[in-house]
Structure 1
Amino acid sequence: MAGVYISWPFCAQKCTYCNFASGVFPRDLEQQYLDALTREIRSTIWGWRPETVYLGGGTPASMEPEVLSRVLELVPGAPWVEATIEAAPGAISREQVQAWVRLGLNRVSLGVQSFVETELRRTGRKHTARHVAEDVAMLRSEGISEINIDLIAGLPGQTARGWESSLDHVESLDPPHVSVYMLEVDEDSRLGKELLLGGVRYGAMDVPGEQQIVECYEQAVERLAQMGLARYEISNFARPGSESTHNLKYWKLLPYLGFGADAHSFDGRLRWQNVESPAEYAKAGDPRLEPVEAILAEERFFVGLRLMEGVHPTTSEWAEHRAVIEQFVADGLLEADGATLRLTPRGILLSNEVFEEFIHA
C-alpha cells in the first residue's frame, strides 16, 4: 500500500540547523500555495487508496483546521492506517488537536531537538521542556498516543550533561517513538554553511566535535533501548508496533506520492520531485520536474541498509557486489547472515561511506 506526503513549508522562524526547503515567507504566499497544493492533489488520478498520510515541512501544524480539512478531504483512503503531522512544541492548542482527530490524524511528530533551553535559543527554537511535557499530555488526553520526539546530537553549545538531561526528559515523557539525528553539515542550512566556511555565526564555534556527537548518539541508543525503544532504522527508535509506517515506505522502496514544494514521489519505477521554491511552486502550472528511472539495484543497498533488519540481496546482487561486501565484512562494517546483509554497530556510524561504495560499485 502506498503513502502520501504533503509539504507545508511555512514556519514562524527558520532554525539555524534546518536544511529543508522551508522558512518564513510573505503571508500572501500561503493562500497562493494552498490553491496550488489543492489543485495538484485534485488533478491526481488515484490508482490506489493511500494507506498513510504524512504532513511535513515546514510547520504543517500551523495550518488552520479549515485549511487542513480542505487539503485532507482531497486525499482518499480515510481513515488511514497512519496519518502524521509535524508540530513545533508550545505552538499547538487543544482545539487544533481535537480538529486533527476529527480529520483522521492519529500520529504527531514533535520537533523538540533538545530539552536544554540554552541550546534551543541558539538554534532559533522557542519552546521549553515544560511546553513539550504539556503538549504530550494534551495529545494523549485527546486520544493521540502515537507521538514521536525528535532530538539532534551536535547542536551548538551542547554538552554531555545537557544531552543526558534531554534523554532524562524523554524517559519521563515515555513516548513510543524517538528520532535521533546527528547534526548535518551542508550548504542548505545557515549553520552548516557557516561551519563549512570556518565562520563563527550561529554558534558554529561551539558545535561539538565529531567524537562527542558520536558518543551522544551511542548513549542515546543505549538509553532508549533501556526504555524499550528499539533501533529499527539508523535514526529511529520505537516500541514494537509504533514504527513509522509511512517512513518505512521510503526505506523499503514502496510507492508514495508527494505534493507541495520540493515533495518527492516514487511509483515503483520512476522518481520525480516538485520544484523546490514555494513561490515557484505556487506559480507553476505543473510543478513536477522531469521523472527519472530509479536504479533500484543500487537503492536497495543504500536505502535498505538503513534498516536494522538489513537487506536480502538477490543472487546476482551478491555476485555483482561481492568484492565490496567481502571488504566491508572484513573491516567489521557489514555482517552477512545467510541471505541477509546488515550494518554492524560500527558500520552504522560509518554508514555514509558504506552507502557510497555501493552507489559507485
Structure 2
Amino acid sequence: MDSFGIYLHVPYCKAKCRYCDFYSAPGARGVPQSYVDALLRELGKNARRPDTLYFGGGTPALLSPAQVAALVEAAAPLPGAEITLEANPDTVTWETLQGFRAAGITRISFGVQSADDTQLRRLGRTHTVAKAAEALQLAREAGFPEICGDIMLALPHYTNAEFDATLSLLQQGGCTHISAYLLKIEPGTAFARFPPEGLPGPDEAADFYLYAVQRLEAAGYRQYEISNFAKPGHEGRHNLLYWNCRDYWGVGPAAHSCLNNRRFYWPDDVQAFTDGSAAEQPEGVCDAEDFLLMQLRLNRGMDLDEYARWGGQFTPAQMTFLRHCVASGYARFADRRLQLTPAGMVVQNAILEALL
C-alpha cells in the first residue's frame, strides 16, 4: 500500500510573529475543545490508517496531552508511524512533554529560530534562548526519539556568528533534524508593513544559506531538501510525502490535501470549520509540473524517467538551459537524474521559472 499521511492544522497561537503569514487565531487560553471535537469529527470519516501524522500550526503544543491523545487515537496511525508535534519553546513544560510522549508523539519540532534574545524579540517570538535550551533538555529527558529545531537565516543584522550560536544550541539540545530557512518578507505580515532595518541583500542572504549548508554538513546534518538537514536515518518522513507527491490529507482551516493526484483545501475560517459549515474545496490535479516543483527541492533530485511517467519532458531549449546550469555549477546530471547543487537551490525559483 502506498504511503499516506495526515496533517492536523492547529491554528491557535499565543502571539503572531512579525514575519508569519500563516493562517492563525488567538490561543492564549489553549485550544478550544470545540475545535478538537471538529478535528475528531473529520477524522471519524477516514478509514485509511496513516504512516505519518503531523500536528502543525499555529502552535499545536497549546493542545493538552489529553487532546493530543484523543486525536492520535482517532487517526489510528499504523505501527511504527512517525507522529510529529510542532512546539514553541515557551509553550511546553515537563508535564506536557511527558504527556505528549505518552500520547504517542515520536517527533517534537521546536521553533527556536535564533540563539540571540534581541533577535527573538525583533521577530516577535515569545521565548528566550534560555527557554529554548530548557525545552530541548526537557524533551530529551521525556524520551522523544526525534527532536527537531528550526533556524531562520538572513535575519536583520545577521552574522555567521549568530548562525553558529544557534547551531550549537540545537546540537547541544540533541536535535536529530534541523530546518534552516531564509527569512522572506511576506505580504500582509507586520514585517511587510514595517520592514525591519538591517536586512541583508540577496547576495548576502545567498552567502548565509551556503554557509549554513556547509556548517550543517560538517556537524553531521546531511541536507536532503532545500531547507532540511538530518542526521542519517532521521529525515522527516511526513514532509517527504509532499515532496515525493504521495497521498496526504490535511484537516483544519487552510489545510491542503492531495489524494489520488487530486488537490483540495479547507477555507481559512476557524468558525466555519468548527461548526461544520465549511467544506473542502477542489484545487486541481497534481501533474508533471507539481512533480518537477517538488522533486527539485530534494537533494537527490528528480529521476527523468519518472518525470516522463508523469507526462513531463524537457524541450531542446530547456535541455540547453540545463546544460548551462550544470556548467555554471547550479545543477548536476547523473544516471538520468537532475539535481540542484546548494548554489542552484539558492536560485531555484529562477531555474523553475525557466523550466516551467
**TM-score normalized by structure 2?**
0.91
* Greater Cα shift, 164-173 or 79-88: 164-173
Task: Look up the equivalent residue of 1:13 and give its one-letter code.
Answer: A
- Compute the displacement of 1:344 (Å): 2.3
Corresponding position of 1:231? 223
Corresponding position of 1:277? 269
Counterpart-to-counterpart distance in 2, 1:65 and 1:17:
29
Q: Does 1:313 align with 2:335?
A: no
- Compute the displacement of 1:72 (Å): 1.9
Corresponding position of 2:112? 112
Task: Look up the equivalent residue of 1:352 and give its one-letter code.
Answer: N
Q: How does 1:133-172 map to 2 (within 5 A)?
A: 133-172=133-172
- Compute the displacement of 1:279 (Å): 2.7
Corresponding position of 1:299? 290
* Deviation string, structure 1 residues 254-305 (Cα, Å, up to 9, x no partner): 101111111111113201111112233223434311242222x111111001
Corresponding position of 2:18? 16
* Greater Cα shift, 13-22 or 318-327: 318-327
Corresponding position of 1:343? 340
Corresponding position of 1:198? none
Residue 149 of structure 1: SS of its match in structure 2?
strand
* Deviation string, structure 1 residues 40-79 (Cα, Å, up to 9, x no partner): 22123x2x32111000000001101222222222102254
Which of 322, 326, 336 aligns to 2:320? It is 326
- Compute the displacement of 1:28 (Å): 9.9
Task: Look up the equivalent residue of 1:250 and give its one-letter code.
Answer: Y
Counterpart-to-counterpart distance in 2, 1:63 and 1:34:
9
Task: Look up the equivalent residue of 2:36 and give its one-letter code.
Answer: L
Name the CA shift for 1:357/1:283 in 2 (closer, same or farther; >3 Å). Answer: farther
Counterpart-to-counterpart distance in 2, 1:96 and 1:2:
28
Name the CA shift for 1:23/1:286 in 2 (closer, same or farther; >3 Å). Answer: closer
* Greater Cα shift, 78-87 or 155-164: 155-164
Residue 90 of structure 1: SS of its match in structure 2?
helix
Q: Kindly indicate whether the alpha-carbon contact (under 8 Å) linking 2:289 and 2:312 is maintained by their aligned counterparts in 1.
A: no
Q: Kindly indicate whether the alpha-carbon contact (under 8 Å) linking 2:9 and 2:252 is maintained by their aligned counterparts in 1.
A: yes
Q: Kindly indicate whether the alpha-carbon contact (under 8 Å) linking 1:139 and 1:145 is maintained by their aligned counterparts in 2.
A: no
Residue 196 of structure 2: SS of its match in structure 1?
helix
Q: Kindly indicate whether the alpha-carbon contact (under 8 Å) linking 1:310 and 1:343 is maintained by their aligned counterparts in 2.
A: yes
Q: Kindly indicate whether the alpha-carbon contact (under 8 Å) linking 2:69 and 2:104 is maintained by their aligned counterparts in 1.
A: no
Residue 55 of structure 2: SS of its match in structure 1?
strand
Counterpart-to-counterpart distance in 2, 1:109 and 1:351:
26
Counterpart-to-counterpart distance in 2, 1:110 and 1:248:
19
Unaligned runs of 5+ in 2: none
Q: Kindly indicate whether the alpha-carbon contact (under 8 Å) linking 1:253 and 1:268 is maintained by their aligned counterparts in 2.
A: no
Which of 229, 254, 257 aligns to 1:265? It is 257
Name the CA shift for 1:264/1:181 in 2 (closer, same or farther; >3 Å). Answer: same
Which of 236, 239, 242 aligns to 1:250? It is 242
Name the CA shift for 1:189/1:80 in 2 (closer, same or farther; >3 Å). Answer: farther
Corresponding position of 2:202? 210
Q: Kindly indicate whether the alpha-carbon contact (under 8 Å) linking 1:298 and 1:358 is maintained by their aligned counterparts in 2.
A: no
Q: Kindly indicate whether the alpha-carbon contact (under 8 Å) linking 2:140 and 2:174 is maintained by their aligned counterparts in 1.
A: no
Counterpart-to-counterpart distance in 2, 1:327 and 1:233:
23
Counterpart-to-counterpart distance in 2, 1:25 and 1:348:
36
Corresponding position of 1:100? 100
- Compute the displacement of 1:101 (Å): 1.7
Q: Percent identity?
A: 32
Name the CA shift for 1:209/1:63 in 2 (closer, same or farther; >3 Å). Answer: same
Counterpart-to-counterpart distance in 1, 2:312 and 2:43:
41
Name the CA shift for 1:266/1:307 in 2 (closer, same or farther; >3 Å). Answer: same
Over the residues paired in the alignment, what is the CA RMSD in angstroms? 2.1
Q: Kindly indicate whether the alpha-carbon contact (under 8 Å) linking 1:20 and 1:188 is maintained by their aligned counterparts in 2.
A: no
Task: Look up the equivalent residue of 1:300 and give its one-letter code.
Answer: F
Task: Look up the equivalent residue of 1:289 and give its one-letter code.
Answer: Q
Counterpart-to-counterpart distance in 2, 1:237 and 1:91:
25
- Compute the displacement of 1:36 (Å): 2.1
Counterpart-to-counterpart distance in 2, 1:28 and 1:344:
42
Q: Kindly indicate whether the alpha-carbon contact (under 8 Å) linking 1:29 and 1:279 is maintained by their aligned counterparts in 2.
A: no
Q: Does 1:4 align with 2:1?
A: no
- Compute the displacement of 1:20 (Å): 0.9
Residue 186 of structure 1: SS of its match in structure 2?
coil
Counterpart-to-counterpart distance in 2, 1:212 and 1:336:
28
Q: Kindly indicate whether the alpha-carbon contact (under 8 Å) linking 2:6 and 2:52 is maintained by their aligned counterparts in 1.
A: yes
Corresponding position of 1:197? none
Counterpart-to-counterpart distance in 1, 2:110 and 2:28:
25
Name the CA shift for 1:180/1:26 in 2 (closer, same or farther; >3 Å). Answer: closer
- Compute the displacement of 1:313 (Å): 1.6
Q: Kindly indicate whether the alpha-carbon contact (under 8 Å) linking 2:213 and 2:223 is maintained by their aligned counterparts in 1.
A: yes
Residue 136 of structure 2: SS of its match in structure 1?
helix
Counterpart-to-counterpart distance in 2, 1:25 and 1:213:
33
Counterpart-to-counterpart distance in 2, 1:281 and 1:26:
20
Q: Kindly indicate whether the alpha-carbon contact (under 8 Å) linking 2:40 and 2:71 is maintained by their aligned counterparts in 1.
A: yes
